[in-house]
Structure 1
């Protein structure tokens, strides 16, 4: 079976992306810091007939991501789809007027550095196989003006830029890379902001392999 690996898996959007791909016949590898929470998610998916397994890693420690991805390959086989959407709410978010290198660097290290480590670990195998999909997720501030998250959005915009350039650089291969920016209060009550609804956009990107980016807007920001 094909395999999707979700970095930053949680009980909201991550679970629904796993469920959406699992219903398409994918096995699922879930990656996050807490093994007990991963086991609970895997149990939920397993009860629905989706083969899922959790692997612990910390995006802020790139070596743990590389180890986890190696363990996933050894246990479940090659990774066909990598979805990258970690979050660290302990990192300080500041207004655009208050951005300094001191509060910006941790955001760059986590989001962009984490992606460089994770995506860099799977791309060689995908390129060699001439097949594979990478889907990268951030908030909508990577595209639109949200000054209250000034430092976060710099890191997210940098990640967007690299993702789009990766897609262009890999255009002549069978590897597809796409960026998803979400402007929504996920699970906040609007039907189009429900995680299960948003997750279908990921399946569509994977199946169509056409657009390099998607700005998913579920409310007027």
Structure 2
């Protein structure tokens, strides 16, 4: 069965995405900083009938993330789909006039170095099998920077540029790269931002393999 690796898996959107892809026959590799929590989530999903394993990695440590993805490949086979969606840390959400070099360093490690490390680790496997999917999930500040959240606005811009370049460069190799923008908070029961609805949207991107950027709900970008 194909394997999906979810970086930043939790009991909200991560679990919904795992169930959606699991229902389509994917084995699930769930990656988070907290091994106990992600192992518990993997056990629950396995009980529901979705083969899942939990792994620990710190996305701000490229070696840690690469080693974990290498272990996933060893345990579960080539990673055919990668989802990069860790939740930004609070210190990245400071106003621009209060943001320090240290704040930006952490945000860039999180949203630029982490994705580059993850993609670099899985890309050779995707090229070997001749196809793959890489999905990035970002908040609205990725496309409309806000002075209230300087760290994510700056770092998400870098992540967006990297993802767009990947989309263009890898399309001829049948490797699809897409970005889902979720403005505001994910909310259960919301018609457009419920975790299950968003998981369906990500599955649609994976299947349709067309446009680079998809919005969970319309945004005013002027």
TM-score above 0.5, yes or no: yes
User: 1: CA distance between counterparts of 2:168 and 2:45?
Assistant: 34
In structure 2, what is the equivalent of residue 55 of structure 1?
Answer: 55
My pick for the range that moved more, 36-45 or 211-220, is 211-220
What is the TM-score when the length of structure 1 is the normalising length? 0.93
Report the Cα distance in structure 1 between the residues aligned to 2:39 and 2:185, rounded to whole angstroms: 26
* Deviation of the 1:130 alpha carbon: 1.8
- 1:140 to partner: Cα distance: 1.1
1:119 has 2:119 as partner? yes
1:218 Cα deviation (Å)? 7.4
1: distance between equivalents of 2:30 and 2:102?
31
Q: How does 1:86-97 map to 2 (within 5 A)?
A: 86-97=86-97
Cα distance in 1 between the residues matched to 2:33 and 2:138: 19
1:217 is paired with a residue whose SS is: coil
Shift of 1:93: 1.9
CA distance in 2, matches of 1:195, 1:219: 19
Q: Give 1:16's aligned residue.
A: 16
How many residues in Structure 1 have an aligned counterpart in Structure 2? 221
User: Over aligned residues, Cα RMSD in angstroms?
Assistant: 1.8
Structure 1's 219 and 173: CA in aligned 2 closer, same or farther, altered over 3 A?
A: closer
**CA–CA distance in structure 2, aligned partners of residues 47 and 90 of structure 1:** 33
Matching of residues 53-92 of structure 1 within 5 Å: 53-92=53-92
> Which ranges of structure 2 fall in alignment gaps of 5 or more residues?
none
Cα deviation, residue 220, structure 1:
8.6
Any conservation in 2 of the 1:6–1:83 contact (CA below 8 Å)? yes
**Which string of whole-angstrom CA distances, capped at 9 and with x for unpartnered residues, describes residues 149-205 of structure 1?**
122111001101110111101121111111111113212552322111111011000
- Matches of 1:197 and 1:25 in 2, distance apart? 19
Cα separation, 1, equivalents of 2:219 and 2:125: 38
